[in-house]
Amino acid sequence: MIKDRLYYSNIIVNKIEENREIIIKNIELQVKKGSNFIFFTIDNLLPVEDVMEIYSKFPKKEEMREKKNLREYKLIEAQLNNHDRILEEITYSFQEKKVINSIASIIGKDDIIADEFLYAGGLSRMEEGNYLNPHLDNSHDKDRSLYRVLNLLYYITPNREIEDGGNLELWDKGLKNDQTVIHSKFNRLAIMVTNKESWHGVSKVKKGNRCCVSNYYFSKKPMSTDDYFHVTSFRGFPDQKIKDIILQGDTILRTSIRKLFPKGIVKNNHIYKK
Ligand SMILES: O=C(O)CCC(=O)C(=O)O
Ligand SMILES: [Fe+2]
């Protein structure tokens, strides 16, 4: 059996469909509570031996690009053809039409387009001390013609405990309230809406590594009714008061630059050049 995107996507769709009822109930509850930041997780996505194989081929620290600043400290790779073929296959399996359709029908949005250039998607690796501060994802795609609407995060590092840090944190009740912690557990797919309220981040990794395969879905229409545009906007974690002020200033600065130069001044090289 060739482990290609078709193979993975068949398993993924079956898993989503198996969980359809529970996911829909969960989303309905969130909507009822008035949340616009919808998310859900699907556990045991792939057979364990398949995830272990993907994990074993995941690029090592030295083979990835380090992003290190006040906002984030992590390793990324979008240039998938520099690595084992299996990594490109698992990443793009989430972009197969039937996976998109299955998720789209659950979310109730029919005009979803996958991000074939992996603009800010692809592989990410976080090691001890790495973090991703609370942020709103950039509202649009690389040409600023489509809205980002969903983020799919598939965690593949075995034996990660919640105490090891590196968990996905969602401010689904607003930044002034406590965040919901999503354990970045082995073989878990987390799916979250991205809009102007979806503040999220990754807590500092305390132990081991945290490998993730990520994909964005786009759409001509946003997840809400009104139009909006924002650059990736960062905040401090709740205990980082000074960093919070600095990061808010940083967002204001980058927003003003973006107003002067709508396509940005530095070329974003976090894309898959085919
Ligand atoms: O790694 C994660 O769980 C979240 C990643 C993320 O939010 C991002 O890359 O924008
Ligand atoms: Fe994000």
Residue 67 structure tokens:
């992003």
Asked if the structure places residue 14 within a domain, the reply is yes
Asked if the structure places residue 268 within a domain, the reply is no
Asked if the structure places residue 99 within a domain, the reply is yes
pLDDT tens profile 207-259? 999 999 999 999 998 887 778 888 889 999 999 999 999 999 989 998 888 87
Rounded mean pLDDT of 26-54? 96
Measure 7 CA to ligand 1 centroid, in angstroms. 25
The number of the ligand 1 atom at minimal distance from the alpha carbon of 168 is: 3
101 vs 218: CA distance, rounded Å: 13
Q: Residue 47 burial (CB < 10 Å; 0-12/13-18/19+)?
A: exposed
Q: Is the CB of 137 under 6 A from ligand 1?
A: yes
Q: Is the CB of 168 under 6 A from ligand 1?
A: yes
pLDDT tens profile 121-165? 999 999 999 999 999 999 998 888 899 999 999 999 999 999 999
Asked if the structure places residue 216 within a domain, the reply is yes
Asked if the structure places residue 274 within a domain, the reply is no
For a ligand 1 pocket test, name from 132, 204, 231 the mutation site with the most ligand atoms within 8 angstroms of its C-beta. Answer: 132
Residue nearest to atom 3 of ligand 1 (CA): 168
Asked which of 14-18, 27-31, 221-225 is least confident by mean pLDDT, the reply is 221-225
Which helix (H) or strand (E) is 211 found in, with range?
Answer: strand 210-219
For a ligand 1 pocket test, name from 74, 202, 233 the mutation site with the most ligand atoms within 8 angstroms of its C-beta. Answer: 202
ipTM for the complex shown = 0.99
Asked if the structure places residue 265 within a domain, the reply is no
65 φψ region: left (φ > 0), alpha (ψ -120 to 50), beta (else): beta
Domain housing 182: 5-260
Could you tell me which of 212, 167, 215 has the C-alpha nearest to residue 192? 215
- Give the 3-state secondary structure of 59-119: CCHHHCEEEECCCEEEEEECCHHHCCHHHHHHHHHCCCHHHHHHHHHHHCCCCEEECCCCC
Asked if the structure places residue 202 within a domain, the reply is yes
Residue 44 sits in a domain of what CATH number?
2.60.120.620
Measure 1 CA to ligand 1 centroid, in angstroms. 32
Asked if the structure places residue 269 within a domain, the reply is no
**191, 86 contact by CB (below 8 A):** no
185 φψ region: left (φ > 0), alpha (ψ -120 to 50), beta (else): beta
How many independent structural domains does the chain possess? 1
